[in-house]
Every structure is written in C-alpha cells, then in structure tokens.
Amino acid sequence: MGILNPHDHIMGKTLTCVASVTEIVTDKNGYNNACPDCLQTVYESGEKWACPSHEKHDNSRHLFCVVVNTTDDTGSQFSTKTPLTS
C-alpha cells in the first residue's frame, strides 16, 4: 500500500492565491532559453540546444521571466513568472 497524499483532492487543479508582490528581483537573468516545442528549459550542447524531452534544436525560444517575492498571510516565497504563449 502506498503512502496517501493529503493533498490529492487539489492535485492537478487550478487554484487562486491572493498575495502581494513585496520584491522584484533584478539581479537574476531576465529570460530563459526554452524548447520551441514544449517550452522546457534547454541547455547548450555544442552548437545546438538540448531539450530533456525532445531532440536537439538549432535554436531556442527566449521567454522573458520575472522573479518576484510574494507574501500573504501564511508567509512568503520567491516565484518565477514566464508569460504563457500559444
């Protein structure tokens, strides 16, 4: 018998969180190199880009991201936000 997860009832569901942005982190890289197929982070591999889920690509997709510290009544955490694209 596996271990029961007490949060199974919310897994895979979209939740809304109300929090305040208390800091915008400006010392982090402002973009992420992403796979043009699935938008996962890709890594340089010779003269190509390697995706963990796909083959190597000749180019990557630049996704701009913002790193912020958010705070609510339960505490705070750093979050990275990349824009959703189609």
DSSP secondary structure of 37-64: TT--B-EEETTEEE-SSS-EES--EEEE
The least confident of 6-15, 26-35, 76-85 is 76-85
Between CA 73 and CA 19 the distance in angstroms is 8
Query: Are 45 and 56 in contact, with CB atoms under 8 Å apart?
Result: yes
48 falls in which pLDDT band (50, 70, 90)? very high
- Residue 86: pLDDT band (50, 70, 90) is very low
pTM confidence score: 0.51
